[in-house]
Amino acid sequence: MQITKVISTRIGSATSRLVKILRFGKSDVQEPRQSSAFGIDSNPVPKLLAVYSETSENGKAVILGYININQLADIGECRIYSTDENNSLKAYLWAKNDGDLLVNGDTDNLIRYLKLNQGLQQFVNDLKLELTAIQAGIIAGGGTYTPNPAFHLDISDSKIDNVKTN
């Protein structure tokens, strides 16, 4: 095994990711397959350091993984993240060892938008009914009151369309 530098990647004919690496110098460019854990499809950015290994098949080599320079996970935690082509963090999921799941941060809470909106719209309808009952009571007492017919509640600006849950 040896540590090599990633040059670029591409999908090969067998739909496996091939990683172009610089092995022993400018004239020794190799393109082994990338191996990874089942269910993980990741594409490394250029200049990462890759762990290169020969296999028992003559002329066949693989990239076993990459040297991670952004490690933050504590014991028992799992962190999955993406970067841009300059290796700057863009998005992450972090399963913490206290049971929390962080999605791109820890300063706000995720909600079930559809359930919240349904509950709030029911509240608006109930409020309108109550205002109608109040109006009837005021009129019965000799006064006047007209509820605002345009009363509504819109929380659509709070909806995050690129984060989904059940």
Residue 88 shares a structural domain with residue 133 = no
Residue 60 shares a structural domain with residue 75 = no
Number of domains in the chain: 3
pTM of the model: 0.67
Task: Note the pLDDT of residue 107.
Answer: 87
Res. 15 pLDDT band, cuts 50 70 90: confident
- Alpha-carbon separation of residue 89 from 48, 65, 68, 109 (angstroms): 14, 19, 13, 21
Tens digit of each residue's pLDDT (9 = 90 or more) over 19-39:
998 888 788 888 888 998 888
Residue-number span of the structural domain to which 52 is assigned: 2-66
Place of tokens 């909600």: 111
Query: Considering the domain boundaries, does residue 57 fall inside one?
Result: yes
Query: Considering the domain boundaries, does residue 62 fall inside one?
Result: yes
One-letter identity of residue 56:
S
Residue 13 shares a structural domain with residue 59 = yes
Residue 17 shares a structural domain with residue 62 = yes
Selection from 64, 60, 12 nearest residue 35 by Cα: 64
Residue 60 shares a structural domain with residue 18 = yes
Residue 119 shares a structural domain with residue 98 = no
* CA 5 and chain centroid, separation: 27
Residue 35 shares a structural domain with residue 18 = yes
Res. 165 pLDDT band, cuts 50 70 90: low
Res. 93 pLDDT band, cuts 50 70 90: very high
Task: Note the pLDDT of residue 1.
Answer: 85
Structure token pair of residue 143: 């006064």
Selection from 88, 1, 85, 6 nearest residue 50 by Cα: 6
Q: What is the mean pLDDT of residues 64-83?
A: 92
Tens digit of each residue's pLDDT (9 = 90 or more) over 126-141:
998 999 999 999 999 9
Residue 126 shares a structural domain with residue 79 = no
- Give the DSSP per-residue string, the chain: -EEEEEEEEEE-TTS-EEEEEE-SSTT-EE-PEE---TT----PPTT-EEEEEE-SSTT-EEEEEE--S-----TT-EEEEEE-TT--EEEEEEE-TTS-EEES-SSS----HHHHHHHHHHHHHHHHHHHHHHHHHHHHTT------TT-----GGG--TT----
Mean pLDDT of the residues in the chain:
88
- Alpha-carbon separation of residue 41 from 15, 47, 54, 80 (angstroms): 11, 19, 22, 11
Residue 57 shares a structural domain with residue 40 = yes
